[in-house]
Chains A and B, each alone.
Chain A
């Protein structure tokens, strides 16, 4: 049964399509419309908590081809507000497939719209920046009103919506060093936890955990996770991170990178339309090599703000497409972070060495007094 629907953006643009996935409350789904240009990895993207508050447009037209499976989720639930596709596969084919994307959308309560001219939409977002939007089978006027009323992600504490309620522990991989890595969950992806588990036991803590509580866990290293939205909004986390710097090795990814930057006093800026894809070239300025990276962010650390900081902060990675700061390190403090996603999931594996770098920065695990050691 085809359910006709429409997508209306805050600028008034209308797109015709057919509804898929879960029913939206009152027939209207709203959120900030963003796009992702990755050719594969839709399940990982849909389950990535960094998309909280957002409606994800897939630029690749066929989505759902290889189905869904239990291993490719990046979180326990779904935090995005909806998905926009050109074509949703009605039959999936892959030996790993355990179900259809269409069913997963319904199960997780994610509404969607198919049949959209996603290229037109992408071009529009590219030129105007991420836009609030609404879709559903409601009247166009209602959709228009909903789109206009949608606040977008500016100023919203989306991290609070996606972080874990209480700490939990993920055991170290077999053969991993006897270490404790405390991971701040600002919207942490499962693949990151998997990579960290190679480095030691991972204690995942809520976003609002204090530095004192973290240090009480006697960590060998602290990890700052990815997450949704504007880093300015999570000032509480920034303050705690500032207290950790110098006391423990720190590695940050994506939002975690922006928060580390802000914690040392650097500024962050909103990008015109962000980086959302799995093909961004990043140069490692330390090794002078280029890696193809997975990216998903709308904000970035402003490297021009590094001058005049109390600490020596330097840019370690740069995006070759637009010169955006992709990584930083705080000299002498064993702290570094990257804007892109070395864990991939989805995306290329070129940057995985950064977990090894964290391994090196943490050094040999301390032997005494480790709980559960």
Chain B
């Protein structure tokens, strides 16, 4: 069956901002889909609010709407574009839910409206509605855990009594397991059930028999419209049931099922996709297996491309999203060629000859108050994937890919961390999943605690434990052999078990370079194998490789001029998809310019690790050893280190100086080194906030004695404001310094030294922060990409702050001064490529805060706001092109204006109710959205809507302002009243507002002293919980005042009531208030960029 000719235009719904549980894997899938459908000649219409995605590049769709993904907005797009079909299965849960909302309103999937392709409403409902799904599975003879569905607490308790505790509770229609939990006692049940009912948009929870501790598996199935089904990949979780699969270490292929059991599971997965009725495309089906009896039960299925499909794609080389898009428009599996073998069709089941390990990366250190204990609700913010020929090799590569100071399972400074603890203590700890558990297990194995005992506590399958034990035993063997005793065989054995040179160096107390030289002298060098979907059964030309220590390397480097691009590793808060965007753009730009591009990265969620993004892909950890190996294998002309965030930047010093493309490592250091930076600013007469550097408390106090409090304390060489704090007094300073040294959260990441001191600067309260992204070429020509004015004042991390292009409140001459400063700094640093400079403006004084000669988080936002491909231009400039040449070539065109673009951060607080959502200097957002429109008010409204902080059209606004913010509060409150909103306020705020003639409907007390309020009983927290209050403005100030409104902010975050914590954001919100999501005008990026 060939492609459908009755369809001409297709709307793809993206997944919006990066949030926990829904990350850039959907950019990868959506980008593939856009490409494929355009190649097939369809008109592709895309909606996605996330500017950092590749898919929203105007080149990837015919009409790109960077607009909020709500049913109202998508309905406007449908009305404007009249697509023939909507493809909802590639945009994660957001895409699916939005499609269902449109369907329920009769706007798609019914006669006379766009058809739903991929999965229809019936199939989506069958898979997503837990009760329907369960019945469907029982109907086809598959086992499911015993369970019941409750809509009220009363119903829930009845079901609990039928099933018996422990039970697991999952809310319906949620992503990433939010609101899910296990209850072993009646008390726990009450709490978890109530949370679950609140989290579900339809107040529905599934209560089921707990299968915690069982083995967990996933199968990726694809189906075409001729009903052919294939399994792309099996995945086995190392962590057992009870830990969300997104938070589990997982391995492909499955390791511990006999073929008989595996085939039973395969039959079940295929039966499942057929019964649910996913007509075409990919789905993943999750199973639990009782390790004692082998009983298999179906847990759930995603009727769409998912995080697991992305992993399965990267693990096998089978491009699930691309094939899913082709199947959706009518092709059958046998009609689509396998890209990798080119000789065989896509209708087959990949088989692999290596082991893939995925390890999540968490951000608990940024979220004080969180327990750090893993459960059924996903908490990780990113993941690394690694490929090795065996599990030990793959696991160790994966652990070092995380970049959290661990080089493998053991043999590093972190390994000694648990040495002092008792066996019992460690055994008790491994009963719960934590980011550290794998290392605790390693320590127990080192102490020769029996595998069975360890298994009894952690339920990790004994096969995995034994494989880990092999690594642990090897450590002892290597220690006994000693550096000088190493033979070729011994080197080979160690390297085949995944030991990094750095681990061996630590073990023997020698330098890493000594290890490398000795190993190389022994003739033990990495070999590169190919990911080919077929275990070498057929010849494959795939340019997708991984290192291992075997006989034969399959790399055949070409003679073309090559550029290696170092990616950004696992997503984390502060370093996410924006940097992957830059790396992908670099690859595209260099390919267009005739270079051969080589990508090195270990993040499976990304577009950069798609095997056809670059000419060659090395799926490798971003460590010195692994990167130098790739450089040795490829012999590139240049290496790009400045587009992937701190990860590659940290490696710049390890790479031969003449290979580093663009700005020199020396210049990067000049900007980072405080002394040199101060000199530079002095030479240019650019004001800086007073400050200094310190490596201990004594030095820190010396600085504050001179400049006074408050101060901004931040470590050098970090991204995302890691451990950055505003410090108000000496005690606070002592705590802050503690945190940065020893085993404080940052101590683990390297601690302080003369090379890595802490920076202490006078904090410029209520300054306006400004960010500039610029490019300078080797002739000295500078392009100012964009000047962004932050909505939140200085003190809120730029990554967590909303910002606008063009600046909304700065006088034009101040903007010109900022541009002049930026140009001068770029010259002084001899920048060749991108530079990001941050300023704080108070009155008319422009202070420079810092400059970073590398890609910043805002590059994609600026590119989309101004219509200039900044990352591509920067890449070409780094390779020697001039801006003039690029203008002539047509790559660089005049920036566009006439509209306002607002970037807003998306924060993870609704997943961490224990964390205070007040914004501060430590970045905590996981993603971002962009709103673009004619006016600031509309653009800001769109950005807030897209970020999930819808501004209210009716209801009550609660104001609680600190004294400094009260004057601005008058303006905010007046505007709100004008828009017909009611006002509630705390006593102080209400009195203040009333004295300026602003009517306040009700005065509310703080939680504990309800009688301070005018009405009886109810507090702000109660009114937030019951939905009376629809918008919260709560501005904390100072270290003391911060805890004051904490419970109110937490309540807002738990009950998903929009809450702004700065008066600037409140002022911006006031401008956007009253906009109606149904009447929002929509316009494509292509239209905004038209010149």
Binding site for B on A (CB under 8 A): 15-16, 35, 37-41, 43-44, 59-62, 65-66, 69, 71-72, 86-87, 89-96, 117-120, 122-123, 126-127, 276-281, 283, 288-290, 292, 320-322, 344-349
CB-CB under 8 A for A95 and B260, given A37-B351, A61-B354, A278-B351: no
Q: Which residues of the partner chain B approach A87 to less than 8 Å between Cβ atoms?
A: 389-390
Q: Is the CB of B256 within 8 A of A117?
A: no
B717 → A minimal CB distance (Å) = 38
Q: Which B residues lie at the A interface, using CB under 8 A?
A: 226-228, 230-231, 234, 253-263, 266-267, 291-294, 333-334, 343-345, 347-355, 389-391, 451, 461-463, 466, 470, 529, 534-539, 550-552, 554
For the complex, what is the distance from the CA of A347 to the CA of B535, rounded to whole Å? Answer: 16
Which 10 residue pairs of A and B lie closest in terms of their CB atoms, listed nearest first?
A: A41-B259, A346-B259, A91-B466, A120-B552, A59-B535, A93-B463, A117-B551, A279-B349, A117-B550, A40-B259
Given A37-B534, A37-B535, A91-B462, decide whether A119 and B550 contact each other with a Cβ distance below 8 A.
yes
Contact across chains for B463 and A279 when beta carbons are under 8 A apart: no
**Interface of chain A, main secondary structure:** loop
In this complex, the member of B231, B256, B258, B538 whose beta carbon has the largest number of chain A beta carbons within 10 angstroms is B258
> Can you name the residue of chain B whose Cβ is closest to the Cβ of A86?
B389
Determine whether the beta carbon of A15 is less than 8 Å from that of B348. Answer: no
Q: Do A320 and B345 have beta carbons less than 8 Å apart?
A: yes
- CB < 8 Å: which of B256, B293, B334, B554 contacts A283? B334
B266 to chain A, nearest CB (A): 6
The residue on B at minimum CB distance from A127 is B539
Question: Within 8 Å CB of B355, what residues of A?
Answer: 61-62
CA distance A115 to B860 in the complex (A): 47
Q: B347's contact among A65, A281, A345, A349, by CB below 8 Å, is which?
A: A281
| Residues of chain A contacted by B254 (CB below 8 angstroms) | 39-40
Task: Report if A39-B347 is in contact (Cβ < 8 Å); known contacts: A66-B257, A277-B537, A321-B538.
Answer: no
- Is the CB–CB distance between A120 and B354 below 8 Å? no
Contacts of A95 in B (CB 8 A): 291-294
Which of B230, B353, B391, B535 gathers the greatest number of chain A CB atoms within 10 Å?
A: B535
Residue pairs across A and B with Cβ atoms less than 8 A apart, 23 shown, are A38-B259, A39-B234, A39-B254, A40-B257, A41-B259, A59-B537, A60-B535, A61-B353, A71-B260, A87-B390, A89-B463, A89-B466, A93-B461, A93-B466, A94-B294, A95-B292, A119-B389, A122-B536, A122-B537, A320-B345, A320-B347, A344-B259, A345-B259
Q: Closest residue of chain B to A59, judged by CB?
A: B535
Measured CB to CB, the nearest residue on chain B to A118 is B353
Residue of A nearest to B289 (CB): A95
Q: Find B351's partner among A39, A61, A93 (CB 8 Å cutoff).
A: A39
Please give the distance in Å from A311's CB to the nearest CB on chain B.
29
Which of B334, B345, B537, B551 lies at the interface centre, i.e. has the most chain A CB atoms within 10 A of its CB?
B537
Contact A69 B258 (CB under 8 A): yes
Are the C-beta atoms of A122 and B348 separated by less than 8 Å? no
Contact call A61/B256, Cβ cutoff below 8 A: no
* B451/A292 in contact, CB under 8 A: no
Given A60-B353, A61-B390, A348-B263, check contact A93 B256 (CB 8 Å). Answer: yes
Residue of B nearest to A276 (CB): B537
Q: Flag if A40 contacts B536 (CB, 8 Å).
A: no
B259 and A349 contacting across the interface, CB-CB below 8 Å = no
A1 vs B261: C-alpha distance in the bound complex, in angstroms? 33
Sample of 9 more A-B contacts, CB < 8 Å, known A66-B258, A91-B463, A345-B259: A37-B351, A66-B255, A277-B537, A281-B345, A281-B347, A290-B226, A320-B347, A347-B259, A349-B267
Please state if B257 and A94 are interface contacts (CB–CB under 8 Å): yes
Which residues of chain B are within 8 angstroms of A60 by Cβ–Cβ distance?
Answer: 253, 351-353, 535
Given the known interface contacts A37-B534, A279-B348, the answer about A119 and B463 at a Cβ–Cβ threshold of 8 Å is no
Complex contacts, A41 vs chain B, CB 8 Å:
258-259
**Least Cβ–Cβ distance between B513 and chain A, in angstroms:** 28
Contacts of B228 in A (CB 8 A): 289-290
Least Cβ–Cβ distance between B125 and chain A, in angstroms: 28
B463 near A292 with CB under 8 A, answer no
Which residues on the B side are within 8 Å of A69 (C-beta)? Answer: 258
Asked if A94 and B258 sit within 8 Å, CB to CB, the answer is yes
> Cβ of A281 and Cβ of B266 under 8 Å apart?
no
Provide the residues of chain B in CB contact with A96, threshold 8 Å. 258, 260-261, 294
Contact call B354/A281, Cβ cutoff below 8 A: no
Between B257, B349, B461, B462, the greatest number of chain A beta carbons within 10 A of the residue's beta carbon is seen for: B349
Question: Which residues on A sit within 8 Å (CB–CB) of B292?
Answer: 95
Give every chain A residue within 8 A of B226 (Cβ-Cβ). 288-290
CA–CA, A290 and B292, complex, Å:
36
**Chain A residues closer than 8 Å to B293, beta-carbon distance:** 95
| With known contacts A66-B257, A93-B463, A321-B344, A123–B536 Cβ distance under 8 A | yes
Q: Which residues of A contact B255 (CB under 8 A)?
A: 62, 65-66
| Residues of B close to A118: CB separation below 8 A | 353
**Across-interface contacts of A122 in B (CB, < 8 A):** 353, 535-537
Alpha-carbon distance between A39 and B254 when the two chains are bound, in angstroms: 9
Q: Which residue of B lies closest to A291 (CB)?
A: B228
B462 near A93: Cβ-Cβ < 8 Å: yes
B353 — nearest CB in chain A belongs to which residue? A59
B461 touches A281 (CB 8 A): no
* Chain B proximity of A11: nearest CB distance (Å): 14
Expressed in whole angstroms, the Cα–Cα distance for A320 and B293 within the complex equals 38
- Among the listed A91, A123, A322, A347, which residue makes an inter-chain contact with B552, where contact means beta carbons less than 8 Å apart? A123
Would B536 and A290 count as touching, CB distance under 8 A?
Answer: no
Distance A44 CA – B262 CA, assembled complex (angstroms) = 14
CA of A256 to CA of B470 in the docked complex: distance in angstroms? 45
CA distance A65 to B254 in the complex (A): 10
Do the beta carbons of A72 and B258 come within 8 Å of each other?
yes
Contacts of B263 in A (CB 8 A): 344, 346-349
When chains A and B are docked, how far (Å) is the Cα of A15 from the Cα of B266? 35
C-alpha spacing A41/B878, complex, angstroms: 53
Complex contacts, B260 vs chain A, CB 8 Å: 71-72, 96
Determine the chain B residues whose CB is within 8 A of the CB of A44 once the complex forms: 259
Distance in Å: Cβ of B226 to nearest Cβ of chain A: 7
A40 to B259, CA, bound (A): 5
Give the distance in Å from the alpha carbon of A37 to the alpha carbon of B341 in the complex.
15
Residue of A nearest to B496 (CB): A115
Q: A94–B256 contact, CB under 8 A?
A: yes
Of A15, A16, A39, which one neighbours B253 at CB under 8 angstroms? Answer: A39
Tell me if B466 and A90 are in contact (CB < 8 A): yes
Give which listed residue, B256, B351, B466, contacts A279 with CB less than 8 A.
B351
Contact B256 A348 (CB under 8 A): no
* Residues on B with beta carbons closer than 8 Å to the beta carbon of A321: 343-345, 348, 538
- Of the candidates B256, B349, B353, B466, the one whose C-beta lies within 8 Å of that of A292 is B349
Chain A: minimal CB distance from B523 (Å): 12
Q: What is the bound-complex CA distance between A276 and B538, given in angstroms?
A: 12
A37-B258 in contact given A92-B463, A118-B353, A290-B334 (Cβ < 8 Å): no
